[in-house]
Chains A and B, each alone.
Chain A
C-alpha cells in the first residue's frame, strides 16, 4: 500500500517537473515573438492582410497609422483607403523627345510620397542615355550637370505597372498584388522585407526601406492613403503607385504635374477620347524590355 503511494508521488513529481520544463522551453521559443509584439504593439502584430480586413477593422488601422505619424513625426496626417474605380484602367506614356532630364518629376515624387529626405529617394530614376543607344545598363542616374547635354537623351524609369508583374509572382506572403485598375500595390504592414520583389523587377523599380524615413514634420505630405504614400516603416518594400491617392480621385499624378515640358501623358486606357489613347494610336510607342513578357502599362515614345 505504502509502496504504491510512493510510486504515484514519484510519478506526479516527474510529471510536474516535465511540465515546468516544457513550459519554460515554450516560453523561450516564443520569446522573439514577444519582443516583436512589444516593438509593434499587439494590435499591429495581429493586424490582418489589407484584403481580408473588414471596413471597421481597416478604420481602426487607419486611425492607428495617423496616431503613429503624430507620435513619430509630429505630423497631423489623414490616411484614407482609396479603392479602384469601375471602368478605369490606368496607363502612362512618356515622350522621350521632349524630356530634358530636369528631374523635377523625381523631386515631386520625393515630396508627394513622403520619401526619406537624407537619401533623396524617389520612385523615379532619370537615366542619362547616349543618343543612339538603348543600353540601360550604361544609363547614368546620378548625373549632376546642366541639362540637356548635347548627345544625350533622358529616360525617367519608374514602376511600369506590368500586367504580368514578376514582382507579384515571387512574393512569398502575397504582400503585393495588382489592383483592378492596373496599379501594383504593397501592403506595407504585411510585407516581410525579403526583397525578392526587388530582385525580380527588371526595371529596378522597387525600393527597400533600410531605415525609417527621416522627414521634418512640416514637410510631411498629410494627404495619404494606406496603399500609397503613407510613411513606410523600416524593413519593408515600397514602389510607385501612380499616386493612387490622387489618380483614383481623378487628379493627375504628382510627377506629371511637375513636368515642365509635358513629356508625361496619363489617363484612362478604357476612354477612347483620352490623351493616353491618342498617344497609343498615333505615336510610335514602345515598352521597356518587351521581350520579358511583363506587359508594362508604362509606354515610351519619340516624336517623329
Chain B
C-alpha cells in the first residue's frame, strides 16, 4: 500500500506541473505589496524627467527655454481662464491644445508659472506633475504603480540593479495627451520569395 502511494506520488510529480508552479498558483490573490523595509533594501526605481516639465520650445522654435526666462519678468502673469494657447499668445502661440474641456488654469497655478495647481487649490512643483495627472486618471496611475502602464528599462530584479521608468509626459503631451498615430517599424520579409505588396484576398506570408 505504502509502495503504491509512493509510486503514485512519483507518477504525479512526473506528469503534474512543477511544485514551484503549484506554489505560485496557490499564492495568487495574496497580498502583493512589498514591506517598506524590503523596498528600501532594493536598488532604486527612478522616473525619467522629460525636459517639457521645466522648459518649453517657444513659438519661434527655441527648445529648452526655461519657464522663468519670461515669467520672471514683472507683468508676465499667466491668465488662468484662457482656454487656448493663442489667447495667451507670445511664446505659447500655436500650441496644440486637446485635453478635454480643461482650461489652462485647470492645471497651471495662475500666480506661479513654475507650479501646477491641484484640484483642491494646493500648489504642486512642476516636477511632480504625475500626482496632478493621477487626480483624474486613477486607473492609469494605479497600473503605473504596479508596472503595467508606461515603458521602463533596467532590471526586473531590483536586488540586482536599478530601473528607470517613463514619466506620463514622456509619451503623453499634457496639452494633447492622445498618443499620436505614426509609422511602425518595418514588417518581416519572406525568406524565400521577393517581397510583393499584398492585395486584398492575396495569400498571406509569415
Q: Which residues of A come within 8 Å of B, CB atoms? A: 89, 93, 95, 98, 100-104, 106-107, 116, 118-122, 125-126, 140-149, 163, 182, 210-211, 247, 249-252, 256-257, 259-262, 265-270, 272-275, 277-283, 295, 303-304
A119 touching B171, Cβ below 8 Å: no
Distance to closest chain B CB from A199 (angstroms): 16
B27 touching A272, Cβ below 8 Å: yes
* Chain A interface SS verdict (over half): loop
13 A-B pairs within 8 Å (CB atoms) are namely A102-B182, A107-B185, A121-B191, A163-B18, A249-B160, A250-B160, A261-B151, A262-B152, A268-B156, A269-B24, A270-B24, A275-B147, A279-B146
**B150 within 8 Å of A (CB atoms):** yes
Question: Bound state CA distance, A116 and B205, in angstroms?
Answer: 17
CB contact between A260 and one of B143, B171, B183, B204 (< 8 Å): that residue: B171
B184 touching A143, Cβ below 8 Å: yes
Distance to closest chain B CB from A186 (angstroms): 18
- Taking CB atoms, residues of chain B closer than 8 Å to A102 are 182, 184-185
Question: Bound state CA distance, A268 and B18, in angstroms?
Answer: 15
**Which B-chain residue is minimally distant from A98 (CB atoms)?**
B149
B179 touching A100, Cβ below 8 Å: yes
- Taking CB atoms, residues of chain A closer than 8 Å to B89 are none
- Taking CB atoms, residues of chain B closer than 8 Å to A116 are 191
Distance to closest chain A CB from B177 (angstroms): 13
CB contact under 8 A between A277 and B24, given known A100-B179, A267-B156: yes
- Taking CB atoms, residues of chain B closer than 8 Å to A143 are 184, 187
B148 touching A120, Cβ below 8 Å: no
Question: Bound state CA distance, A144 and B20, in angstroms?
Answer: 42
**B21 within 8 Å of A (CB atoms):** yes
The stretch of B31-39, B55-63, B126-134 in contact with A is: B31-39
A257 touching B152, Cβ below 8 Å: yes
Question: Bound state CA distance, A272 and B139, in angstroms?
Answer: 21
Question: Bound state CA distance, A251 and B23, in angstroms?
Answer: 24
Question: Bound state CA distance, A89 and B24, in angstroms?
Answer: 9
B24 touching A282, Cβ below 8 Å: no
**Which B-chain residue is minimally distant from A259 (CB atoms)?**
B151
CB contact under 8 A between A89 and B148, given known A280-B28, A281-B32: no
Q: Which residues of B come within 8 Å of A, CB atoms? A: 17-18, 20-21, 23-24, 27-34, 38, 139, 143-144, 146-157, 159-161, 163, 166, 171, 179, 181-192, 198, 204-206
**Which A-chain residue is minimally distant from B155 (CB atoms)?**
A250
CB contact under 8 A between A125 and B206, given known A266-B156, A272-B27: yes
Question: Bound state CA distance, A83 and B152, in angstroms?
Answer: 25
Distance to closest chain B CB from A174 (angstroms): 16
- Taking CB atoms, residues of chain A closer than 8 Å to B184 are 101-103, 126, 143-144, 146-147
Distance to closest chain A CB from B94 (angstroms): 23
* A118, A125, A250 pick with most chain B CB within 10 angstroms: A250
- Taking CB atoms, residues of chain B closer than 8 Å to A295 are 17
The 10 closest A-B pairs by CB, nearest first: A250-B160, A275-B147, A250-B157, A103-B185, A273-B34, A262-B150, A107-B185, A278-B146, A142-B187, A103-B184
- Taking CB atoms, residues of chain A closer than 8 Å to B182 are 102, 146-147
Distance to closest chain A CB from B185 (angstroms): 4
Question: Bound state CA distance, A119 and B38, in angstroms?
Answer: 46
A104 touching B32, Cβ below 8 Å: no
B179 touching A273, Cβ below 8 Å: no
B24 touching A142, Cβ below 8 Å: no
Question: Bound state CA distance, A53 and B198, in angstroms?
Answer: 48
CB contact under 8 A between A119 and B189, given known A147-B184, A249-B160, A270-B23: yes
Question: Bound state CA distance, A140 and B160, in angstroms?
Answer: 39
- Taking CB atoms, residues of chain A closer than 8 Å to B151 are 257, 259-262
CB contact under 8 A between A277 and B150, given known A118-B189, A268-B156: no
